[in-house]
């Protein structure tokens, strides 16, 4: 390609076609074929790479394009059964058998589809705009020996590009050079995983000088690497320059979406582009989740289908029987097949289809759209803007990432929680340590205090010194501070301990090289705490290069002497979840070679050299002691290396590091060769304090009937003590403990026979489960038995999850109030969640903050992510995100309950109003010989759901509230109604169906009977369309008033919506009846409403018929409330005289000029001021804290019937209503 610098790998002058065709691996100077599954990239040579046909760098995240929007969008809509049904009805309405105009069914379906498609188009348009913005961003590309600004979308694999400071990487790059002299750059991966701490990346030494255009233009290289994949943290490849192989690892890979920090610019070679970049390959959709109530709604729709079928079948049979020549005056003949007395079967079939179109409104077409709209507003305006779930310290509000599961939050029975960062703060503080068998640190942890309170023991809490503590360091023991460690019995051991802390890590220092002003960027809070501890002990790590670590050591040679010591870092054996340890090989200035290692106690002890049993024993006791105190522990060890041994090992290490296949596995195997015969130094203990409000939150959720399980990777002692501290477990509970840490199991382990160990473990776990299960049954059968709790570790859980034992584990667990699983893997977390979700069919919620919680979060019905210290992986995989565990109280007990109540009311009301309307048409069919004659005008039927009854049901779905947020949390037992699904049982549906049948009979027969003798002002009897218009008016008034009766709170929006809907009917019918349209069908309705309203009959009927129709509902609601009240109704009565001052906060965040506290104060000032009162009766429940800003508070006046009812019940007079005075908004 003209204008682009071409440079191919190999440099041997061979023809380009040969070199490109043979994917090359350089070995012993010969070109070898590349193994399948790897790709070869020629740097800075577009012509060579063109033959490989790599994908471009343009990305698209849209669902549709111009050509696929309509077909694909309609396909998505018609996947819903209700929409497919109405499509069928619309088609039928266009046939001769339809008694109604096609507009009757086509119009509602068109409106529903239009709203849905507009919503889809709007969301996709926003995605398209975002894609265009990203694709048109520019980056400097090497072209004709110069850096030329080029849009991201025109980048190709193999291009050499330059990214400036604070710029984003446009593709996955091989890092070649930077302006830093040591070939390093600092990368922020916040867009990738949410972590704001900087990562260090190091270019190959061979390419450090490729900074200027002239130098890099001469670059002739070839990259051989793995094929594109979604593994963010692995990369295997080689860079070949002049037949020299340079191994490439994740440290040389710069991922798309990350940004460059603290570096003027870097130069890199594009290796993966567009949708083949790792970040794009990770952008899979979260598994689609449907709420349990939505699934039950599908069953209700199917039930309505069945009812519709039965109604049509009955009508078709009746039509076949009714057709008879004896009704000669009806002029039946063979000209119309549907009315041919000689073909009764054909008549019945055609009538069946006629009645399907006539009764089609029984299925509420607008239900799904209304529910989606309600859920969307609930999420975006209520949950996201609730000040009670706003964390001022981190300026983080709650976030509903989906609106599909709002009501599911009101039915959760099991919560699966991670421990670290979820129940605890994940703000690690160095608290205690053990060095050479001696414990240091005088502090008392929160868990120790909680344990003492539990047992009644006294704890001597020593006063901490008044000195200001650095974040991450909460250690107090004069024996180690300010050089005092030199006077300890083991000063050499202390020195090695501090050096291990200062050297064995991957922390990056930032800022001034002074102890007061330096900042550490660490991969985990634990690692930062250990380096901060080393600094406070006098071993100050202040500078890092790719090959050196600089430590300022104090008091080493003599008291008061400070010296800067450079340590050469030869190898870093990195931590991973399999190794559970990290090692560093370093060279002292005097040439001494040392391997420092830190890791989990189980891993380190396996690799210790023989000898010094007392130190091992005492250190293990200290580890158990720290674990019992709820502290996180690590073991530290070291090993002196001989130069020849190291050189021999290093050759194997380099070979493993250069391997293209199974590189990680080979590196682990090589590490095993040197990480042995270690000398134990001691162990550290880091405290991770409980989050604020966790014990109170767990206690409240337990009272709500929610069972909480803790799934953690910590030791059993730590997990149990954390469970005690957060009040998950107490002394009154019977604890069942199933542990693999028993003498019998250790004895089998020592024999080394893995098959025998597996058999023995499975048999032991089976016996333990059976024993615990039998004992649990005995406790459950006794009247005053204690609550039960189960504690099980990961090894035992592995066997307990075996299909043969899974049922027993599930039965035992479901009988326990609390379950703690410790030492569990991420996979086991997901398996336990699925066990309860699928095995017990209970609604589950998983909450976590780290990448290891993602599988658990996605496995549960509802996933909640904590936006904490471990990045945003959990949040990105979750359905809801909150900043603190304690916010679960508001999320579940307030928003969850309200959403569940509201959606249940919306669904059942839709069912009721459509059934009522359709049944009036059904009763009319009996009067017409089952002929399919329509009772209502087509436009009446079309607009019934779309306009005349649409808005009030949305208002109740948004604003109805049985009790305030404060009372919801004061009486958490109210939540149990959601767990029992008390408001969407078949019994509830049957009750609504009964009253729909009753009201339809009243509405139809009262109007028809009363109209038989009624006459208009001209003295004429009323005809069909007069009667049907009167009946339709009564239906509209009745169903809208019935909605007011079911409201717990009645606000101005209820009055506006109900009054507006009734008014909309009258406005429509005035216009529709008052003008002449070319449509002949409209002639039937012409001037009807004016004739009706000119009679006294109209007004009398309009008052009496709705009252008669609603009378039974009124009596039923009163009797139910008096004799069979729901729990929330009892709470309403208790607090009926109290004004509700709670409100939903309109949270205003994102003002860059405001501090978090100022932003919170500003948010409080923006809260609406509407005040509501709960009297506890359906007709008299005024007010709700509106989410509309700046609404003035109002009181709804007492209703006469409610005053009369309460006259004899009132124990004290209501306080007189006082004028509303300005007040400061406050949180509830």
Burial class (CB in 10 A: 0-12, 13-18, 19+), 87: middle
Q: Please name the residues in contact with 750: beta carbons below 8 A apart, sequence gap of 6 or more.
A: none
Tokens read off for 249: 């690892």
- How far apart are the C-alpha atoms of 1163 and 1158, rounded to whole Å? 8
Residue reference for tokens 């076609």: 17
- CA-to-CA separations, 776 to 736, 768, 799, 832, 1036, in angstroms, rounded: 9, 12, 20, 20, 57
Phi first, then psi: give them for residue 642, nearest 5 degrees.
-85, 140
If one counts every other C-beta atom within 10 angstroms of the C-beta of residue 499, the result is 24
Catalytic residue among 193, 386, 418, 476: 418
Beta-bridge mates of residue 438: 435
Q: Please name the residues in contact with 409: beta carbons below 8 A apart, sequence gap of 6 or more.
A: 845, 862, 880, 891, 892, 895, 896, 899, 900
Burial class (CB in 10 A: 0-12, 13-18, 19+), 128: middle
| DSSP code of residue 66 | T
Tokens read off for 171: 């593709």
- How far apart are the C-alpha atoms of 1125 and 336, rounded to whole Å? 57
Residue reference for tokens 């599909």: 404
Q: Please name the residues in contact with 569: beta carbons below 8 A apart, sequence gap of 6 or more.
A: 503, 547, 548, 549, 584, 585, 586
Helix (H) or strand (E) run with residue 150 in it: strand 146-151
Measured between its terminal Cα atoms, the distance across the chain in Å is: 68
Residue reference for tokens 């582009």: 273
The count of C-alpha atoms lying within 13 angstroms of the C-alpha of 661, restricted to the half-sphere facing its C-beta, is 5
- How far apart are the C-alpha atoms of 481 and 475, rounded to whole Å? 9
| DSSP code of residue 889 | I
- How far apart are the C-alpha atoms of 385 and 381, rounded to whole Å? 6
Phi-psi region of 938 (alpha: psi -120 to 50; beta: other; left: phi over 0): alpha
Q: At what angle are helices 81-93 and 367-377 packed, to 10 degrees?
A: 140
Q: At what angle are helices 897-927 and 950-959 packed, to 10 degrees?
A: 160
Q: At what angle are helices 743-751 and 754-781 packed, to 10 degrees?
A: 160
Alpha-carbon dihedral 696, 731, 709, 683, rounded to 10 degrees: 90
Tokens read off for 731: 């002394």
Task: Please name the residue ranges forming H helices in 835-946.
Answer: 854-859, 873-876, 888, 897-927, 938-943
Nearest to 103 by CA among 913, 941, 1067: 941
Sheet holding 581-587, edge to edge: 438-440, 424-435, 679-690, 631-641, 593-599, 581-587, 562-573, 548-554, 539-544
Q: What is the SS3 assignment for 539?
A: strand
Is 418 an active-site residue? Answer: yes
Pairing of strands 539-544, 519-521: unpaired
Nearest to 248 by CA among 198, 176, 159: 176
Contact criterion met (CB below 8 Å) for 930 and 1008: no
Phi first, then psi: give them for residue 586, nearest 5 degrees.
-130, 160
Nearest to 59 by CA among 305, 281, 296, 387: 281
- How far apart are the C-alpha atoms of 889 and 966, rounded to whole Å? 11
The residues annotated with a catalytic role in the active site are 418
């Amino acid at each position: 390609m003209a204008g682009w610098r071409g440079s191919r790998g190999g440099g041997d002058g061979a023809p380009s076609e040969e070199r490109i065709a043979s994917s090359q691996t350089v070995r012993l100077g010969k070109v070898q074929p590349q193994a399948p599954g790897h790709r070869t990239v020629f740097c800075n040579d577009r012509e060579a790479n063109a033959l490989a046909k790599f994908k471009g760098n343009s990305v698209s995240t849209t669902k549709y394009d111009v050509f696929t929007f309509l077909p694909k969008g309609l396909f998505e809509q018609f996947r819903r059964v209700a929409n497919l049904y109405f499509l069928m009805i619309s088609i039928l309405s266009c046939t001769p058998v339809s008694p109604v105009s096609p507009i009757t069914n086509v119009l509602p379906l068109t409106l529903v589809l239009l709203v849905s498609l507009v919503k889809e188009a709007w969301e996709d348009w926003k995605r398209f705009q975002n894609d265009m913005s990203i694709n048109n961003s520019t980056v400097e590309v090497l072209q004709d020996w110069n850096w030329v600004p080029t849009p991201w979308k025109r980048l190709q694999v193999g291009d050499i590009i330059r990214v400036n400071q604070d710029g984003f990487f446009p593709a996955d790059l091989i890092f070649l050079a930077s302006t830093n002299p040591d070939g390093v750059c600092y990368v922020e991966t916040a867009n990738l995983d949410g972590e704001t701490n900087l990562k260090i990346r190091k270019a190959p030494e061979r390419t450090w000088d490729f900074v200027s255009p002239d130098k890099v233009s001469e670059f002739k290289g070839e990259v051989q690497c793995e094929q594109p994949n979604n593994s963010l943290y692995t990369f295997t490849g080689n860079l070949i320059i002049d037949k020299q192989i340079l191994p490439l690892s994740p440290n040389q890979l710069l991922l798309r979406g990350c940004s460059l920090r603290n570096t003027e610019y870097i130069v890199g070679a594009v290796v993966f582009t567009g949708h083949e970049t790792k970040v794009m390959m990770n952008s899979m959709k979260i598994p689609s989740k449907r709420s349990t109530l939505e699934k039950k709604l599908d069953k209700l729709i199917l039930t309505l289908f069945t009812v519709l079928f039965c109604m049509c079948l009955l009508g078709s049979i009746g039509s076949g029987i009714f057709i008879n020549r004896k009704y000669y005056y009806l002029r039946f003949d063979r000209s119309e097949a549907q009315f041919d007395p000689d073909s009764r079967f054909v008549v019945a079939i055609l009538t069946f289809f006629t009645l399907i179109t006539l009764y089609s409104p029984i299925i509420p077409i607008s239900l799904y759209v209304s529910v989606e709209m309600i859920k969307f507003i609930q999420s975006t305006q209520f949950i996201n803007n609730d000040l009670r779930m706003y964390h001022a310290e981190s300026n983080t509000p709650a976030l509903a990432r989906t609106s599909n599961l709002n009501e599911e939050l009101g039915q959760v029975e099991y919560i699966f929680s991670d421990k670290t960062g979820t129940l605890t703060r994940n703000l690690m503080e160095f608290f205690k340590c053990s060095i050479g068998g001696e414990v240091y640190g005088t502090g008392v942890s929160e868990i120790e205090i909680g344990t003492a309170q539990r047992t009644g023991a006294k704890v001597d809490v020593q006063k901490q010194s008044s000195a200001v503590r650095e974040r991450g360091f909460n250690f107090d023991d004069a024996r180690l501070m300010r050089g005092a460690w030199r006077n300890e019995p083991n000063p050499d051991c202390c020195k090695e301990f501090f050096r291990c802390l200062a050297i064995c890590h991957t922390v990056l220092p930032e800022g001034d090289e002074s102890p007061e002003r330096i900042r550490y960027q660490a991969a985990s809070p634990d690692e930062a705490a250990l380096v901060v501890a080393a600094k406070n002990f006098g071993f100050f790590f202040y500078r890092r290069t790719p090959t050196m670590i600089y430590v300022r050591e104090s008091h080493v040679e003599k008291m008061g002497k400070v010296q800067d010591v450079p340590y050469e870092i030869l190898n870093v054996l990195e931590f991973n979840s399999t190794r559970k340890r990290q090692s560093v090989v370093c060279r002292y200035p005097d040439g001494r070679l040392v391997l420092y290692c830190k890791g989990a106690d189980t891993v380190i002890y396996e690799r210790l050299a023989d000898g010094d049993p007392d130190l091992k024993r005492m250190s293990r006791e200290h580890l158990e002691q720290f674990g019992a105190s709820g502290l996180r522990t690590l073991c530290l060890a070291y090993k002196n290396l001989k130069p020849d041994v190291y050189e021999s090992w290093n050759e194997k290490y380099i070979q493993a590091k250069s391997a293209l296949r199974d590189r990680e596995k080979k590196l682990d195997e090589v590490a095993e060769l040197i990480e042995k015969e270690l000398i134990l130094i001691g162990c550290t203990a880091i405290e991770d304090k409980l989050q604020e409000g966790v014990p109170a939150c767990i206690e409240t959720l337990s009272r709500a009937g929610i069972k909480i399980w803790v799934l953690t990777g910590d030791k059993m002692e730590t997990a149990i003590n954390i469970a005690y501290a957060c009040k998950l477990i107490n002394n009154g509970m019977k604890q069942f403990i199933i542990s693999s840490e028993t003498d019998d199991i250790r004895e089998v382990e020592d024999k080394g026979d893995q098959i025998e160990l597996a058999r023995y473990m499975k048999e032991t776990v089976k016996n333990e489960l059976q024993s615990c299960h039998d004992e649990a049954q005995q406790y459950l059968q006794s009247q005053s038995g204690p609550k039960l709790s189960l504690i099980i570790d990961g090894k035992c859980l592995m066997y307990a999850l075996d299909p043969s034992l899974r049922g027993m584990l599930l039965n035992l667990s479901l009988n326990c109030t609390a379950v703690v699983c410790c030492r569990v893997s991420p996979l086991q977390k997901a398996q336990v969640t699925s066990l309860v979700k699928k095995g017990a069919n209970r609604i589950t919620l998983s909450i976590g903050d780290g990448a290891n919680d993602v599988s658990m979060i996605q496995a549960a019905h509802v996933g909640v992510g904590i936006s904490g210290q471990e990045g945003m992986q959990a949040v990105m995989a979750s359905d809801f995100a909150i900043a603190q565990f304690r916010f679960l109280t508001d999320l579940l007990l307030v928003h969850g309950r309200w959403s569940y109540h509201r959606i249940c009311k919306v669904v059942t009301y839709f069912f009721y109003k459509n059934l009522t309307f359709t049944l009036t048409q059904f009763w009319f069919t009996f009067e017409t010989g089952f002929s399919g004659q329509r009772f209502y005008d087509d436009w009446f039927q079309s607009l019934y759901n779309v306009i005349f009854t649409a808005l009030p049901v949305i208002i109740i779905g948004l604003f109805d509230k049985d009790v305030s947020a404060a009372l919801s949390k004061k009486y958490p037992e109210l939540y149990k109604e959601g767990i029992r699904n008390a408001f969407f049982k078949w019994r509830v549906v049957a009750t609504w169906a009964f009253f729909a049948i009753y009201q339809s009979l009243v509405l139809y027969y009262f109007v028809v009977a009363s109209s038989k003798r009624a006459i208009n002002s001209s003295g004429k009897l009323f005809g069909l369309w007069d009667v049907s218009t009167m009946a339709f008016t009564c239906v509209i008034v009745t169903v809208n008033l019935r909605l007011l009766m079911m409201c717990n709170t009645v606000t101005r929006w209820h009055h506006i919506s109900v009054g507006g809907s009734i008014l909309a009917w009258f406005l429509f019918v005035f216009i529709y009846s008052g003008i002449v349209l070319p449509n002949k069908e409209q002639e039937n309705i012409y001037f009807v409403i004016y004739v009706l309203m000119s009679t006294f009959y109209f007004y009398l009927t309009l008052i009496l018929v709705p009252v008669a129709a609603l009378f039974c509902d009124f009596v039923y609601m009163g009797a139910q409330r008096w004799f069979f009240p729901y729990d929330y109704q009892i709470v309403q009565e208790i607090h009926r005289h109290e004004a509700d001052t709670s409100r939903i906060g309109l949270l205003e965040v994102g003002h860059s000029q405001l501090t978090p506290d100022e932003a919170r104060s500003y948010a409080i000032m923006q809260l609406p001021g509407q005040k509501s009162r709960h009297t506890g009766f359906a007709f008299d429940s005024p007010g709700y804290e509106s989410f509309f800003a700046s609404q003035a508070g109002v009181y709804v006046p007492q209703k006469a019937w409610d005053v009369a009812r309460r006259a004899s019940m009132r124990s004290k007079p209501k306080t007189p209503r006082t004028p509303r005075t300005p007040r400061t908004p406050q949180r509830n």
